Structure 1
Amino acid sequence: MTATPMRGVFAVSTTPFSSDGTQDLDMYGRSVERVLEAGVDGLLALGATGEALALDEAEREAQIRHLVEVVDGRVPVVVGCMAYRPEDMSAMISSSARWGASAAMVTPSFYGGLGAGDAVAALTPVLERSELPVLVYNNPHSTGTDLLPEDLVALLEHDSMWAVKETSGEATRVRELRAALGTDVQIFVGADGLALEGFTQGASGWVAASAWLTPARCVDLWAAAASGDWSRAVSLWDGLAGPLGQIESDPAFISLIKRALGELGLPQGPVRTPLPTATDEAVSALVDTLKSLGDRH
């Protein structure tokens, strides 16, 4: 369905909120320009990091319309379309297409304890009806369903099947996905702590919440790996692994990213309840680590 492959680093956005609890779309636009300036290859909005499940339909529409306007065709825009019912996912995809999105991201229906076969069966009509290329997000930690390579093969018959975001944490999964799905489907690393490992196994890129926080470092790492400069990639990874570990080990990681950005001059506001708020100590430690890197952004 995509004329040219969409690859590289896709920054996963937060949703900035003002002090009165409404979306801060002006700050959102500034944050988007920052990651675009750093050279990211795409944006992913309304994922878990974007607190998508805490937004209503009007807020979703306002955010995506603003994002599409700010991006103005410079990079692809992927919209998270996660829902329990397949028909709700399809409705979200249709809305996202109408608002100007380039692609959609879906997950297996969460909370239902679906086996992989049932999850694929639920996703099948979504891909059949989709008006956009689809990124299937394998996130067993959140959905309770681990889509193995052999499960995802069944979705290849649908033209809308564009990519997989792999976040199981299994060290060899990217290689296994590449072997099972071939080269027509893009495989993105979704577990930030395994980014370099995924790149060595033939990943198409990186869908990264960390790229919203430290985009230049993420872009540089991908560029080194994509060009085969593994010595430079390992050197960059040695610096980046520290802050990624701080983020991934914190259950309040969404708040941690938002608060750290605030300390760096891009206030994102609080997270919406019931998400937890990062501690002052965690924020201070992460900001100190980022500053020690001498990041160019």
Structure 2
Amino acid sequence: MTKFEWKGVMPAVTTKFTADDQLDLEMFSVNINAQKEAGVHAIILGGTLGEASTLSVDEKRELVEHTVALINGEIPVIINIAEQTTRDAVKAAENAEKQGASGLMMLPPMRYNATDYETVAYFEAVAKSTSLPIMIYNNPVDYKIEVTLDMFEKLLRYNNIQAVKESTRDITNITRIKNRFGDRLNILCGVDTLAMESLIMGADGWVAGLVCAFPRETVAIYELVKAGRIKEATDIYRWFMPLLELDINPQLVQNIKLAEVATGIGTENVRLPRMPLQGEERDRVLSIIAEGVKTRPEIPEF
């Protein structure tokens, strides 16, 4: 099993497309290199932000292999698994391992509101099928299935289930997890607008969205909090909040891709049925981004 720590800033990166709807690996590489230079701790491919549900199997393979080659072992490359069947989830894990991934992020079964028993069995089947370390993505707000602490109790019998992407939007859950499992289950905040609060309460890291456009600021907040420099982190976080709110929105992909354009590390191209923002909403988002870029804070040494 590839060894790494579930800690730090892990961008859930966007997938870049050309104007004629092909993978844009050139611009994708520009963004990944900006993430690396900012000091992120891992890269996550194929999440909601990555428009994974629109990618073909061949495109996913090409994206993983390209990223693994580009990263060249410097930081882990984590693949998100969001499948409708257990068989497909196991296959996706096998493919990720073959293609050189370092770890997996896993959603519960998609499009079926599985019971607790079924959800645990789904995760167990994948855990048994791979040696890769796994982070369970717990997001009952968007995906309607909560992985409870009692469910984690069963899942933690598997050594490769090691972390949770905590997106319940209940900060007190971090304390409950720590009280119950200590350091056995690493916690990464999955909600941009709760990230600093989560880190202060003991989260080990941040699976981030606006990092796609603002990597240095995101890493700075994490590093400053971990160093106990709360005032400096708070100043950056307050500047960042209007931008972070673009992540908790149904059009988060379009929002964040617009932000990537503004910082020079992305394009606006999305894949149908998604379309670029229009009208008043586009103007609103662009004004938030423009204000953020104009008032970008100085980043202290850390």
TM range (shorter): over 0.9
Is 1:127 matched up with 2:127?
A: yes
Pairs aligned (count): 296
1: CA distance, partners of 2:90 / 2:4: 24
Structure 2 equivalent of residue 97 of structure 1 = 97
Is 1:221 matched up with 2:218?
A: no
Specify whether residues 225 and 267 from structure 1 end up closer, same or farther in structure 2 by C-alpha distance, changes over 3 A only: closer
2: CA distance, partners of 1:78 / 1:268: 23
Is 1:265 matched up with 2:264?
A: yes
* Offset at residue 19 of structure 1 (A): 0.8
Specify whether residues 266 and 296 from structure 1 end up closer, same or farther in structure 2 by C-alpha distance, changes over 3 A only: farther
- The within-5 A match list for 1:172-251 is 172-248=172-248, 250-251=249-250
**AA of the residue aligned to 1:140:** P
Structure 2 equivalent of residue 19 of structure 1 = 19
Deviations 1:5-58 (A, max 9, x none): 231000111001001100001111111001111111111011110001100110
Relative to structure 2, which stretch is displaced further, 52-61 or 177-186? 177-186
* Offset at residue 295 of structure 1 (A): 5.2
Deviations 1:170-205 (A, max 9, x none): 121122122222203211000111111111221010
1: CA distance, partners of 2:288 / 2:116: 37
* Offset at residue 296 of structure 1 (A): 6.6
Give structure 1 regions of 4+ aligned residues with deviation exceeding 3 angstroms: 1-4
**AA of the residue aligned to 1:145:** I
TM-score (ref. length: structure 1): 0.94
Q: Secondary structure at the match of 1:110?
A: coil
- The within-5 A match list for 1:25-40 is 25-40=25-40
**AA of the residue aligned to 1:113:** N
Q: Sequence identity of aligned pairs in percent?
A: 25
Q: Secondary structure at the match of 2:156?
A: helix
1: CA distance, partners of 2:22 / 2:297: 31
1: CA distance, partners of 2:216 / 2:60: 27
Specify whether residues 296 and 228 from structure 1 end up closer, same or farther in structure 2 by C-alpha distance, changes over 3 A only: closer
2: CA distance, partners of 1:91 / 1:293: 46
2: CA distance, partners of 1:212 / 1:86: 30
1: CA distance, partners of 2:136 / 2:275: 27
Is 1:286 matched up with 2:285?
A: no
Deviations 1:69-111 (A, max 9, x none): 1111111110111101112111111111111110011111122
* Offset at residue 268 of structure 1 (A): 2.5
CA-based RMSD of the aligned residues comes to 1.7
2: CA distance, partners of 1:259 / 1:141: 25
2: CA distance, partners of 1:90 / 1:210: 30
TM-score (ref. length: structure 2): 0.93
**AA of the residue aligned to 1:289:** E
- The within-5 A match list for 1:64-83 is 64-83=64-83
* Offset at residue 266 of structure 1 (A): 2.9
Specify whether residues 247 and 81 from structure 1 end up closer, same or farther in structure 2 by C-alpha distance, changes over 3 A only: closer
1: CA distance, partners of 2:4 / 2:111: 35
Q: Unpaired runs of 5+ in structure 1?
A: none
Asked if structure 2 preserves the Cα contact closer than 8 Å seen for 1:13 and 1:209, the reply is yes
Asked if structure 2 preserves the Cα contact closer than 8 Å seen for 1:247 and 1:253, the reply is yes
Q: Secondary structure at the match of 2:95?
A: helix
2: CA distance, partners of 1:211 / 1:223: 14
2: CA distance, partners of 1:192 / 1:253: 11
**AA of the residue aligned to 2:75:** V
2: CA distance, partners of 1:51 / 1:42: 19
Structure 2 equivalent of residue 88 of structure 1 = 88
2: CA distance, partners of 1:188 / 1:228: 18
